[in-house]
Chain A
Amino acid sequence: MAMKRRAGAVLALLMTSALVAAGCSGGGDDDKAAPESELYKNPVTLTWWHNASQDGPGKTYWEKVAKDFSTAHPTVKIEIEAIETNQLQRTRLPAALLSNDPPDVFQAWGGGEMREQVEADYLKDITDQVKTEVADIGSAAEIWQVDGKQYGLPYRMGIEGVWYNKDMFAKAGISAPPTTFEELNAAVTKLKATNVIPIALGAGDKWPAAHWWYNFALRACSVDTLKKASTDRNFDDPCFVKAGQDLKTFIDTKPFQNNFIATPGQNDPTSANGLLANGKAAMELMGDWNRGTLDTVATDKAKLGKFLGWFPVPAISGSAGDPKAALGGGDGFACAKQAPAECVEFLKYLVSPEVQKGYAATGTGLPVAKGAADGVTDPALKSILTATSEATYVQLWLDTAYGSTVGSAMNDAIVAIFAGNGTPEKVVSAMKAAASK
């Protein structure tokens, strides 16, 4: 057996960078924000880390955006590094931020992680400079706020819902998309009778399974309870246990494919995505980015475009939650504390209607700026836009909202329910234990 030192080496490397950070954190935190008049006077280089690492329209579009900005402002040079999400979020960014030499503009997901970054004084407060943009984006911008101050801006935002196969629904005799869980259960029974998988589930990646629990929590808990849980990490309300119980009841109706615990979520034909895209399953719970990921795994894209529909997560009658509330999340960018003032201008440019329209046209996600909505042509995506504007409250994905530590423990405990060896109570106790870890 060969020695497997790689993981150790990575950790060691991070330890070394942490050492550097510990040594340097004393000074150098002066805000270099130049007065407005000095903008674009001196040549600056902005380093930009984003997560569109796969070759495709998303990556190409960011290259174009950077080039356009440099053309308009010749003093600004932009150096892009595209890094895969997990690497970026789990290792590269934390290490770069610790080393006191972070990129100027980088991917920010908001929620609990951003709160921690703000507490460590890593991010630039951009509240005063981006008032117009925040007003245009609306309530979605709140996810990139900490204690009422703006630290980042989203460029993509959408809510989660059920993607479904209209043809299969018609064949099973389901006339309208379910609006309550009773109707959903009835639809599952009818679909089973036509020998298709009612719901595809990528539990292998954990989060696609966890999102079912999030939605049950959203239905079981009042908006106030949810808001309080995000800020105080307080999960004492019995509604969090109720979410697990409702989930258990739902799993017991066997709506998912066999072996869902090993099925990946997306990006491969054997994934839950592939089951829906290639006509093997009738439904899948997934976010707005699913339109693009379904396309990549579909063998017949034209057929997919014809049968694909979308409806919001059904309501649970008689529960405390707001039936019009939705779960959602997005992608945004933030500026490092020591980044030059041009960084904020670039952020503003990224969410300008012009750039947002082009982004919508890439089909990689839903834009946030109001003027960009007409760039969206796909009918399924249009129904998401409508549902988003009709949502009374958008709760950020719970694992992002509570931060990685609680989020990860929560997801693991939810997966245990799916595997048949967890309990609703254990989810809550795991979340509480992680909060103190």
Chain B
Amino acid sequence: MTSTDQTRFPAGGVTAPPAGSRPTGRASSRRAETRRKWYEIVGLTTPALVVYVTFVLVPMGFAFYYSLFRWRGVGPPTEFVGFKNYVLAFQDPIFLDALRNNAIVVFGSLLVQGPLALGVALLLNRRFRGRGAFRLLAFVPYVLAEVTVGIMWKLILTGDGTADELLRALGLGGLVQAWLADLDVVIWTLLFVLTWKYVGFAIILLLAGLSNVPEELTEAAAIDGASWWQTQRHITLPLLGPTIRIWMFLSVIGSLQVFDVVWVTSVPAVRSLGASATMATYMVDNGFFARLWGYGNAVAVILFVISFVAALLFQRFLLRRDIEGAITRRAN
């Protein structure tokens, strides 16, 4: 943030100009300008705020309200049960399975997608023939619709499907698994599909970050005799820090809320046994299919709180440096 930005948009609220610092005649025009700025802010943010409040905040409030009822979606909720739905959720082994699966997806995404995307991005950042085509290929899975990806992988991974045939043709028949049916395997299968789908997003983010690394620095390093590895390790990586942290944040939040790919790819029976359930699929299975609307809302609130806490922790500890001055406080 430059200093002009700070005077234009003071973060801590509009403060009156210091008294006596300017001639009085100009003070009133200054006040008029401040007022005009406020009209501008109110005028420009009101539509967004109305939409946000109506479709995000109010429904969230209602979700919490309904989560306190034993309610099956027939007639208005009348049977108040307090926090019983929350207790029931944490007592349900299938919900705990869903939590565990979400944790696997969160850490699996970070540990697999991160290094993979970084490696590919560093490669794609070098000049070579067909670089554009490779960049495009890396990004294609991310552009495909979730449902398309889910159905595609479901067909590939089905028993004696393409994946099995391919492994056998390669002489790796021993590796063939019931990819979507084996209760111990299915979550890793899903992690693979999710990685395939979303690694392109990480690659593109990192490539964008790489293009911001000033060439002068790498040139200077080269003149000083640094090897390619040393340049990446000591110049590129540190400068990529903000991009990596933002990607981690998006990845964690996305992994906690993951729904469509899992819903489409996984088999209902396997999901209901907990092997491939996530918090979001558990919410839909229970809220709509078992018609436990109050309970489903409780699960939605739990999912929200977990995501919210994760977001806050990220902001507090990892993203603090990157967004300092922008939303946290004014830089001195």
Determine if A8 is an interface residue (Cβ-Cβ < 8 Å): yes
Chain B residue at minimal CB-CB distance from A1: B254
Interface stretch, picked from B18-26, B225-233, B281-289, is: B281-289
Q: Is the CB of A5 within 8 A of B292?
A: no
Q: A22-B76, A419-B269 are in contact. Are A15 and B63 (CB under 8 A)?
A: yes
Interface residue from A11, A19, A209, A258 paired with B296 (Cβ < 8 Å): A11
Determine if B181 is an interface residue (Cβ-Cβ < 8 Å): yes
Q: Is the CB of B178 within 8 A of A262?
A: yes
Give min CB distance, B96 to chain A, whole Å.
15
Give min CB distance, A399 to chain B, whole Å.
10
Q: Is the CB of B292 within 8 A of A405?
A: yes
Interface residue from B77, B272, B289, B300 paired with A11 (Cβ < 8 Å): B300
**CA–CA, A3 to B255, complex, Å?**
9
Chain A residue at minimal CB-CB distance from B84: A437
Contacts of A221 in B (CB 8 A): none
Determine if A71 is an interface residue (Cβ-Cβ < 8 Å): no
Interface stretch, picked from A90-98, A338-346, A353-361, is: A90-98
| A 229-258 binary contact with B (CB < 8 Å = 1; else 0) | 000000000000000000000000000001
Interface residue from B109, B158, B254, B267 paired with A261 (Cβ < 8 Å): B267
Task: For chain B, residues 137 to 192, give those with C-beta under 8 angstroms from any C-beta of chain A.
Answer: 146, 158-159, 178, 180-181, 183
| A 74-94 binary contact with B (CB < 8 Å = 1; else 0) | 000000000000000011001
Contacts of B183 in A (CB 8 A): 419, 421
Q: Is the CB of B287 within 8 A of A11?
A: yes
Q: A5-B257, A262-B181 are in contact. Are A12 and B270 (CB under 8 A)?
A: no
**CA–CA, A40 to B56, complex, Å?**
46
Contacts of B283 in A (CB 8 A): 7, 11
Q: A90-B289, A415-B272, A416-B273 are in contact. Are A4 and B284 (CB under 8 A)?
A: no
Determine if A116 is an interface residue (Cβ-Cβ < 8 Å): yes
Q: Is the CB of B76 within 8 A of A21?
A: yes
Interface residue from A7, A25, A122, A206 paired with B269 (Cβ < 8 Å): A206
Determine if B291 is an interface residue (Cβ-Cβ < 8 Å): yes
Q: Is the CB of B62 within 8 A of A403?
A: no
Give min CB distance, A332 to chain B, whole Å.
18
Q: Is the CB of B257 within 8 A of A3?
A: yes
Determine if B72 is an interface residue (Cβ-Cβ < 8 Å): yes
Task: For chain B, residues 11 to 68, give those with C-beta under 8 angstroms from any C-beta of chain A.
Answer: 55-56, 58-60, 62-63, 66
Chain A residue at minimal CB-CB distance from B71: A18
Q: Is the CB of A415 within 8 A of B273?
A: yes
Give min CB distance, A1 to chain B, whole Å.
2
Determine if A6 is an interface residue (Cβ-Cβ < 8 Å): yes
| A 109-127 binary contact with B (CB < 8 Å = 1; else 0) | 0000000110111100000
Interface residue from B63, B73, B201 paired with A94 (Cβ < 8 Å): B73
Contacts of B77 in A (CB 8 A): 18, 22
Give min CB distance, A413 to chain B, whole Å.
9
**CA–CA, A12 to B61, complex, Å?**
10
Contacts of B159 in A (CB 8 A): 258-259, 262-263, 270
Contacts of B198 in A (CB 8 A): 1-2
**CA–CA, A419 to B74, complex, Å?**
33
Give min CB distance, B16 to chain A, whole Å.
40
| B 254-280 binary contact with A (CB < 8 Å = 1; else 0) | 110111100000011110110000001
Q: A3-B257, A16-B62, A437-B295 are in contact. Are A120 and B75 (CB under 8 A)?
A: yes
**CA–CA, A404 to B82, complex, Å?**
23
Determine if A434 is an interface residue (Cβ-Cβ < 8 Å): yes
Give min CB distance, B67 to chain A, whole Å.
10
Chain B residue at minimal CB-CB distance from A209: B269
Q: Is the CB of A25 within 8 A of B181?
A: no
Q: Is the CB of A94 within 8 A of B74?
A: yes
Task: For chain A, residues 397 to 437, give those with C-beta under 8 angstroms from any C-beta of chain B.
Answer: 403-405, 408-409, 411-412, 415-416, 418-419, 421, 434, 437
Q: Is the CB of B74 within 8 A of A6?
A: no
Interface residue from A91, A121, A262, A412 paired with B288 (Cβ < 8 Å): A91
Q: A4-B260, A12-B59, A18-B62 are in contact. Are A90 and B180 (CB under 8 A)?
A: no
Contacts of A203 in B (CB 8 A): 269
Determine if A178 is an interface residue (Cβ-Cβ < 8 Å): no
Determine if A309 is an interface residue (Cβ-Cβ < 8 Å): no
Give min CB distance, A206 to chain B, whole Å.
5
Q: Is the CB of A259 within 8 A of B280?
A: no
Determine if A204 is an interface residue (Cβ-Cβ < 8 Å): yes
Determine if A295 is an interface residue (Cβ-Cβ < 8 Å): no
Determine if A331 is an interface residue (Cβ-Cβ < 8 Å): no
Contacts of A5 in B (CB 8 A): 257
Interface residue from A3, A16, A409 paired with B290 (Cβ < 8 Å): A409
Determine if A133 is an interface residue (Cβ-Cβ < 8 Å): no
Q: A4-B257, A117-B74, A262-B181 are in contact. Are A270 and B158 (CB under 8 A)?
A: yes
27 A–B contacts, CB within 8 A, in A order: A1-B198, A1-B255, A2-B201, A3-B253, A4-B260, A7-B283, A7-B284, A9-B55, A11-B63, A12-B55, A12-B59, A97-B74, A98-B73, A98-B76, A116-B74, A121-B75, A204-B269, A206-B272, A209-B269, A262-B178, A264-B267, A403-B291, A404-B289, A405-B292, A412-B273, A415-B269, A437-B70
* Given A11-B63, A408-B289, 11 additional A-B pairs, CB 8 A: A2-B198, A11-B287, A15-B59, A94-B74, A116-B74, A117-B74, A204-B270, A404-B289, A408-B286, A415-B273, A419-B273
Instruction: Please list the residues of chain A having a beta carbon within 8 angstroms of any beta carbon in chain B.
Output: 1-9, 11-13, 15-16, 18-19, 21-22, 25, 90-91, 94, 97-98, 116-117, 119-122, 203-206, 209, 258-259, 261-264, 270, 403-405, 408-409, 411-412, 415-416, 418-419, 421, 434, 437
